[in-house]
A and B are shown apart, each in its own frame.
Chain A
Amino acid sequence: MIKLLLSYFIFPGMAFISIAGMFASYLDRKITARIHWRVGPSLKQPYYDIKKLLIKETILPANGPIWLFVSAPLISFLSVALISDIMITSWFNTGSGFIGDTVVIFYLFAIPAVASILGAFASQSPYASLGASREIKLLIAYEVPLFLAMLVPIIKAQSVLFGKIISAQVYNGSFAASASGLLALIVAIFCIQAKMGFTPFDLAEAETELAGGTQAEYSGPLLAVWKLSKMALTVAAPLFLVMLFWGAGGWLIILLKYIVLLIVAVLIKNTNPRVKINQAMKFFLGPVSIAAVVAVLLAWKGY
């Protein structure tokens, strides 16, 4: 029991994912700054941002379900911490998972988006409602190809156990080396771009047109939890892809692969303008879904 709590709250759960998330956020902002030919923020800047939000006043909606408004960011952060816990624990000890934990991780990944929708509607702000409606549409659009892409490693490893998927790659090489695995990885990179709220698909939190979108009414410590949960997602989502498709190698190689995926995401973010919601839905339910289906069929045939 103590071991379980330690693993959830300290390593590899909450404390670990927060610190790693701050570092990932620093990398994201620094790379962005270098692309803009700027110097960029210091290493401790994400920490300063979170610390500053903790001293600010929290403003609650006058007429709305306050319990929902307060619990939405907490649910989001706790679920990302749980993802990190399950994922990294089964990487260290490939026999420690439970049947179907890959699917559980997939569903836990949907919870931050659902929580942001609930929090946005609870805040009673028109900007937040618009952001929430976009988030719902985006969620429907990108979950389909992401789940199809996730089927590829499940078919290849012949198991829904996350530890089995990892151990199959450790013994036989990464799935991304095969045609179906590579195609599924590319599909999944587009999907996590939307999941992390990075630029071509950041229309739910568009600060230029929606004043912060789903988080428009959050302030103070609650906003800090939102930011922390987003930073944690920037760690958890690419790491999930690395372990699912590109999982061969020791922890240093996994870390390097994670940083490569993060840099790819930041490059996509900085070289693309924000799309409209109809364009995003067409993109995910059209070409990306078709590519995901092709990847599943290829995996079925053994390629």
Chain B
Amino acid sequence: MSFTVDALTKSLNVFHAACSPCNNCDIEILDALTPRYDLERFGIQLVGSIRHADVLLVTGAVNKKVVHRIKALYEQAPKPIIVIANGSCACSEILFRDSYNTCGPLDKIIPVDLYIPGCPPRPEAIIAGVVKLLNAVRAKDKK
């Protein structure tokens, strides 16, 4: 395993960007960090500044008010950065698809590495998604 991948997969600092969600996804993310699931066991922590982050976690359907901000956040992030679209809104916009103010699913705006569908996804689903992503990154590195 290369130094880069080994270092990155063992300590993920998450920056949580709420792009006009209904807050259900946010509540489930906070649930994943509470003592019941305790993601700090695996070195996953929430940070306050995008400069400290390795993961940009986006919830909600991106609309015209936040599209500039999410682009700016992606550009301000120190690379390499992993982008996670959490919840069906960020993945595919579900019922907001033809709304007058949405700007398309997240992967039309910034490159996305992981999709976690669900409305909202349960904490188990979030953890399973992150594990799948880490395994994929490690498998890609081995080739």
Contact = CB atoms under 8 A, between A and B. Distances in A.
Interface of A: 29, 33, 36-42, 45, 48-49, 51-52, 54-59, 127, 206-208, 210-212, 215-220, 223
B51 to A, nearest CB: 4
Q: Interface residues of A: mostly helix, strand, loop or mixed?
A: loop
A41 B49 contact: no
B interface, how many residues as a size bin?
20 to 34
A218 B51 contact: yes
Contact of A208 (B8, B48, B54): B48
Nearest to A227: B52
A220 B48 contact: no
B52 A212 contact: yes
A202 to B, nearest CB: 12
Given A55-B7, A55-B8, A57-B78, A48 B43 contact: yes
Interface of B: 3-4, 7-8, 10-11, 35, 38, 40-41, 43, 47-49, 51-52, 54, 76, 78-80
A59 B54 contact: no
Contacts, number: 81
Contacts of A208: 48
Contacts of B80: 55-57
A55 B9 CA distance: 12
B3 A33 contact: no
Contact of B78 (A33, A38, A48, A219): A219
Contact of A49 (B4, B11, B41): B11
Contacts of B10: 45, 48, 52
Given A49-B43, A51-B7, A219-B52, A59 B38 contact: no
A40 to B, nearest CB: 6
Given A40-B40, A223-B52, 10 more contacts: A38-B40, A39-B38, A39-B41, A40-B38, A41-B40, A56-B79, A57-B80, A206-B48, A216-B48, A217-B49
B48 A211 contact: yes
B49 A33 contact: no
A223 B51 contact: yes
Contact of A212 (B11, B49, B79): B49
A59 B52 contact: no
A52 B7 contact: yes
B51 A52 contact: no
B78 A212 contact: no
A39 B76 CA distance: 33
B35 A38 contact: yes
A211 B52 CA distance: 10
Nearest to A30: B40
A41 B11 CA distance: 10
A77 B141 CA distance: 34
**Taking each of B40, B47, B54, which has the highest tally of chain A beta carbons within 10 Å of its own beta carbon?**
B40
B4 A55 contact: yes
A212 B41 contact: no
A216 B51 contact: yes
B11 A45 contact: yes
Given A49-B43, A223-B51, A56 B78 contact: yes
24 contacts: A29-B40, A33-B40, A38-B38, A39-B38, A40-B38, A41-B41, A45-B11, A48-B7, A48-B11, A52-B7, A52-B8, A52-B10, A52-B11, A54-B7, A56-B78, A56-B79, A56-B80, A58-B78, A127-B49, A207-B48, A208-B48, A212-B47, A216-B49, A217-B49
A123 B63 CA distance: 31
Contacts of A127: 49
Contacts of A40: 38, 40-41
